[in-house]
Amino acid sequence: MARDMTPVLKRCRSLGLEPALLGLSKKASKRTPRQVRKLSEYGLQLREKQKVKFIYGVLEKQFRNYYDKAAHMPGITGENLLRMLEMRLDNVVYRLGYGRTRTDARQVVRHNHIRVNGKKVNIPSYQVSVGDKIEIREKSRGMDRFKNTLDVTGTRIVPEWLSADHEGLTGAIVSAPTREQIDLPVNETLIIELYSK
């Protein structure tokens, strides 16, 4: 399985992202900004694509597949793309607060701690749908890992399209997220322009 091993804070700094967006409590270093030359149109489009790939932890081939599926769905392609990325199981686990970061949530999924509608699912890219119930499996509920994670993520606001029960370590998909409910500082139209060339 391929992984992006780039140092996270360094990558955040180069893309102009706040580490808090990824669930990190660390601050980007206060180095003096170096002179950055003006980006071309292609450079802006590429940077927006790299931001989204980095935030969701998706590599190029998989991201391209998401774009192809989004382009064939009814509606606006950019919103479809972000909606599909939000509905990944690892992202939903992160949004519910059962993972400190998306990487941590991915590990929770890979280690068989998650049940979707009562069935074991250990594929981070699994697409959940409206009405699905996500829960931490019975054996894992007493683990210190989830207690410690909820202590950290308990103040995190669960999006409106999800419902979470932190007592029972369960959650549900109430509705599909709209663009307004996806709080990412990206311009998805630039990504669509990049791929439609």
Domain with CATH 3.10.290.10 in the chain: 88-173
Mean pLDDT of the chain: 86
Selection from 59, 111, 112, 49 nearest residue 81 by Cα? 49
Describe the crossing of helices 8-15 and 41-56 by its angle, rounded to 10 degrees. 150
Q: What is the CATH number of domain 88-173?
A: 3.10.290.10
In CATH, which superfamily holds the domain spanning 8-76+185-195?
A: Ribosomal protein S4/S9, N-terminal domain (1.10.1050.10)
- Average pLDDT (95-121) is 91
pLDDT in tens, 10-38: 777 777 777 766 666 666 555 545 556 78
Tokens coding 93: 């686990």
Q: 3-class SS at 114?
A: strand
Domain with CATH 1.10.1050.10 in the chain: 8-76+185-195
Strand ranges (E), the chain: 114-116, 119-120, 133-136, 162-165, 170-173
pLDDT in tens, 55-67: 898 999 999 999 9
pLDDT in tens, 131-180: 999 999 988 888 888 888 888 877 778 899 999 888 888 999 999 999 89
Give the list of residues 6+ apart from residue 13 with CB closer than 8 angstroms, or none.
Answer: 28, 29, 31
Q: CA dist 9 to 12, 14, 31, Å?
A: 5, 9, 12
pLDDT attached to residue 129: 92
Q: Could you tell me the pTM of the whole model? A: 0.85
What span, in angstroms and rounded, lies between the C-alpha atoms of 162 and 167? 16
Q: What percent of the chain has pLDDT over 90?
A: 50
